[in-house]
Every structure is written in structure tokens, then in C-alpha cells.
Amino acid sequence: RRHGILGSCAQILAEIFGTYFLIFAGCAAVAVNKRTAGTVTFPGICITWGLAVMVMVYSVGHISGAHFNPAVTLAFATCGRFPWRQVPAYAAAQVIGSTAASITLRLLFGGAPEHFFGTVPSGSDVQSLVLEFIITFYLMFVVSGVATDNRAIGELAGLAVGATVLLNVLFAGYSTMTTAFTLLILLGILDLGCQQSHLLIETYVLFLEDILIETCWRVL
């Protein structure tokens, strides 16, 4: 029993630390880029997100599964690959980690709401939703293929998922700021300077889409 409790605590801590470092690294790259007149560059930001995901998957994936995203946790639970009783704890851990990262960034870099380092789509609502649908489907398809299928090479999960995030940010970042990480949407909702109704719509779409892709993968 004690071993089970310790194991659960380790999983929760892994999700907190993993989500913290992921959100901190990705958003810090954006903040530094703004502060230094673009020295990081857009490709540099893309690489930062991809590397952050890859590093954290290899660091804590064997402990918690490296979800780092409430939508991923919900999708896995819906398809029977994750126990429902652990969903609230995982979601809480992810929110705690991302919130702590955002507070750290605010303390380090400051900034007004117009300098929010998260999701502020530049295109139309339709364009943003279509792109978000595509990149989230792409991400969850890869995650399902390399991380949950016994036929895949599990050791390559971190590399494959990290590369997918890099590509997603590279081709969709300019238009939607790439909200496939649902926590970025949630952080945007908390920011008074962001389009909250738009972000809420994207949140619902991403949760439903993650469930859809997991269901499709079960058929495959």
C-alpha cells in the first residue's frame, strides 16, 4: 500500500516538474526573443519547444507517462489507457506546473497583458481552428503511435513527439501561436488581455479532437 502511495506521488511530482520545465522553456524562449529584438528567432523558438518536450519525455516518461497536457490525459482515460481515478490528480498537477512556470516568467520578465507569451491567434477564427485541428490531430496521432502501441519502438517516443511539436510550431506558430498544448490556452484564459471566448472554443475543440484521435487509433 505504501509503495502504491509513493508511486502515485512520484507520478504527480513528475507531471508537475515536467509541465513546469516544458512551459517555462517554451515561453521563456518567446520572452527572451521579445526582449532581445528577435535574437532567438522564430526557428529557435520552435527548436526550444521541440527539445523541451523531448528532454522531459525522456526524463520522466518512465515515471508518469509524460502527459504534460490535460487533453492527453483525458484522451487516454476515455480510451481505457489510463485510469479515470487518476485524471483529476494529473490535471491538477499539470495546471500547478504550468501556473508556477507562468508566475516565474512574470517575475523574471514582467510585461503587460499585450506582451502575453502564450496564445494570441493572428488569423481568423476559422483559420485558427482548422490549423489547431490539424496540428493536434498530428500530435496525438504520433503520441498514440509511438508511446502507447506495443508494436512501436518506445525508446524513440521522446524524439518523435519532440520533433512533431517542433514541426507544429514551425508551420502553425505564426497563425495560431500553436495551442495544441491545452495549458497554453488555459493560461491565456487567465490573462485579461486575451480573447477569452475564442480560447474557450479552442479548448473544447482540442479536448474533443484528442478523444477522436485516440478512438481512431484503437481501430488501427
Domain with residue 185: its CATH number is 1.20.1080.10
Q: Cα–Cα distances in Å, from 85 out to 54, 77, 167?
A: 27, 9, 33
Domain limits for position 11: 2-219
Mean pLDDT, the chain, whole residue set? 77
Question: Mean pLDDT throughout 88-100?
Answer: 90
Q: How confident is the model at residue 1 (pLDDT cuts 50, 70, 90)?
A: very low
What does the block give as the cell for 37? 529584438
What does the block give as the cell for 24? 517555462
CB atoms within 10 A of CB 88: 10
pLDDT digits (tens, 9 = 90+) for 17-72: 999 999 899 889 988 998 888 899 989 999 999 999 999 999 998 899 888 888 78
DSSP string of 35-47, one letter each residue: HTTSSS-HHHHHH
Nearest 5°: the CA angle 207, 212, 216 is 150
Scan for cell 507531471, then name that residue. Answer: 15
Q: What is the pLDDT of residue 77?
A: 83
Scan for cell 520578465, then name that residue. Answer: 109
Nearest to 101 by CA among 109, 113, 91: 109
- In degrees and rounded to multiples of 5, residue 153 shows phi and psi of -90, 100
Q: Are 195 and 124 in contact (CB under 8 A)?
A: no
| Share of residues in the chain with pLDDT > 90 (%) | 22
pLDDT over 50 at 152, yes or no: yes
Q: What is the pLDDT of residue 16?
A: 94
Q: What is the pLDDT of residue 193?
A: 42
Q: What is the pLDDT of residue 88?
A: 92
The Cα–Cα gap between 122 and 94 comes to 27
Give me the number of domains the chain comprises. Answer: 1
pLDDT digits (tens, 9 = 90+) for 158-204: 899 899 989 888 887 766 655 555 555 455 444 444 444 455 555 66
Q: What is the pLDDT of residue 52?
A: 94
For the chain, helix, strand, coil in percent to 5 are 80, 0, 20
Q: What is the pLDDT of residue 2?
A: 41
Q: What is the pLDDT of residue 13?
A: 95
